[in-house]
Structure 1
Amino acid sequence: MAALSRFISGLSDKYHAFFRTLKNPKDFQWTEECESALHKLKAHLTTPPHLSKPLLGAVLLLYLAVSEHAVSVVLIREEGSKHLPIYYVSKALLDADTRYCHLEKLALARKLRPYFQAHPIVAVTSFPIKLVLHKPKVSERLAKWALELGEYDVIFRPATALKSQVLADFVAEFSPALLPALEQEVCLRSETNEEGEWILHVDGSSNVRGAGLGIVLTSLTGNTASRAMRCNFKATNNESEYEALIAGLTLTHQMGAEKIQVFGDSQLIINQVQGEYQAKDDSMIQYLAVAQRLIKKFKSCKLTQIPRKQNSQADALANLGSALETHSQMSIPLLVLQWPTTLEEPPSEEVSAVEEGETWMTPLVRYLETDILPENSNEARKIMKQAVRYCISQKKLYRRSFSRPYLRCATPREAAGILVELHEGDCGSHSSGRNLVLRARRAGYYWPTMAADADIQTKHCDQCQRHAPVSKLPPENLKSISSPWPFRKWGMDIVGKFPMVPGQKVFLLVVTDYFSKWVKAEALSRTTDLQILKFLWTYVITRFGVPHEIVTDN
């Protein structure tokens, strides 16, 4: 039966009852459902489908279908308007597989790996499998599957109307019983599903000891971020309330919230921002302008006044007290404002950001957002393999590192500023190129030319060149002296045979002093021991004394 699975569409799903009965021989019960499944199997075997042969380099289409019991896959090729099946796969879900998310079950089609290696594959699906595989918050299992699929040329394409009889079992990718849970899962995994409102509680306090701010931000998932701030400048109670509101709106905008509901216990501040009260004091007018400018950055911002009892947590943070109603340990950072927010100049609308044009991130962003690949097939395959390790969050590109934290990808302009700050900034240590790369990674940044850029930065640093240790090494390698004083050690050699010269001399006897490099040579007709002794006596011993050592290879 396993061998027939490549010829029968959805074998494990259609005949699930039949196989389940055969797996339990002890409690064997032949039911009408098993009998019906057996007759259908016999009828299907009498009219088997005609499988096609894949053409070399042809694009193959992949259709998937998921039910409660199995995952079915068909690999086909198009010939005009015809769909020719090549291979059927039907995998029965084990007990552990049934607990996978429904979108994860679509990624189980890995048995067709030999076809993936030889052909471009177009996965036809109506569900965002590609977005799920490239999301920042992805499970270990999906991350592993994404790396495996990134090796092959797999493109995801939305499904269209199917009219072919071959694809009759793949019209619906999921069985009707799974659709309610699937819709809920797609809604939870989508990045654009955040229709709820973030909750922000703010409060300010001013006394003789100074001014304090309290912020409590609650996300859509129920996670809470608390902040306690202290102002190092004099501020009235109303000014501290405005400072708390502005700091809370700034924090919420940085977290990426689009809809927000603000709660505060100051009747004056809430009504002034809503336009019900008029601000007459100069400082109140300035604070009101800053708050309204921040509110325009949100799609929706509702402000509500609540009693102080309902705002106790923000009030406790503002008073820097211990009135927090919690039994667990909490770590609340204390931030210090050095100047009022009204002193900051509002951004001018006429100033535009400097665009760098296309960088090394542009092909990856185009592929992840719009599935656009370079025209060159080799470059396209390279981008698809690299994109497995990248994801986009809040319109920024991130890279998965080996230790699992995400590294923010930097442009060449940003990379230059990062290296300068890490090397010679306030916390810079003028470290070497390798240490500078490690510091940049620990800071959460990545770009492909980190090592080369770090080496260039360290070599061009003026302070590093001025205060670097002076090298005492000679410009050339030291050469050892083989003789401690002149004419102590000699080298002797016989060269020849040369062409005969007058006197029938064909050999040359040469001696050299190792220390002074003094050379003496004489032509000989024969090389006998008497002639060599005579030569040494005449030119070496009588002139420089008896040598301590004579080196020769003869």
Structure 2
Amino acid sequence: MDTYCKEIRKLEAHFYGLEFHHVLRDYNVAADVLSKLGCKRALVPAGIFVQALNSPTVKIEEEPPTMPELVPALGQDVLVADLDWRSLILDFIINNKSYLKDKEHERLACRAASYVVIGTKLFRHSASSGTLSKCISQSDGVRILSEIHSRICGNHAGASTLVGKAFRSGFYWPTTMADAQAIVRRCPGCQFFSKQQHVLAQALRTIPPSWPFACYGLNSVGPLKTVQGSYTFIFVAIDKFTKWIEVKSVSATTAAKVAEFIQEIMHRFGVPNRIITDLGTSFTGSEFWDFCQESCIDMYYASVAHPSATARWNAIIVGYHD
């Protein structure tokens, strides 16, 4: 986002003024719907033009990892040493190099038992999965962690998550956790947003199913293929305690039809205590709302795109359709 902002700032000289406005989600419904379509990879409705961008439209400048500058004193020569941690293990495995100190030789032999050389590359056995992870230098590892943390697909995750993603990608170096903690500590965005309180505004309300036919989950599906009787929609109600399923085919999903469906359930199993449903127009209509208030039924609404709340409906509807 910072790169795109810099590109916009380059156009300031061509305009009399430039202002940035933050639009709330409630007032930006069209962009919110388009983002959900992109995340779900759903079919794009007619009238919406799609342009596939396989690469960023702006050039992202990669900043090399900063290293402390060492200024030599006058009359002194600088000796650049090879700090690659793989060199000791490669010399021990390939050249069978030994050390004068027995403890150091024993320590390196115990450490090299977890590594294997394939060609000229060093790999390490994974203790959990048994696969081989490619051993890379610390500079390459810092570059990979930076890419995972804050580049194109980065989500500014914590140090433990960064290390897990790097290991699952098949890379290993011994200072992974320390490097990940240093990247998170130096990230301005992580330090800024970590100060904000992420606790919910109110405590979660649990709805324990205490007795049968007291709490129902309600949903609708359609339009489906028209059958005899002009039925194209389905109402589904599930008892949260016994998982008993009630299904009814209807021709239209109106608030009056939902009230009739609940009234049929009431005649068979009694008046429920509460009903959980989504924010569909048929469940928020005045006729259904008035019916629930007259019957002393509490209404609770869940998110429309909540996957855990809709997974059970999808399984039931597929079985009913078959």
TM normalised by structure 2 equals: 0.35
The structure richer in strand per residue is 1
Compute the TM-score of the two structures, normalised by the length of structure 1: 0.21
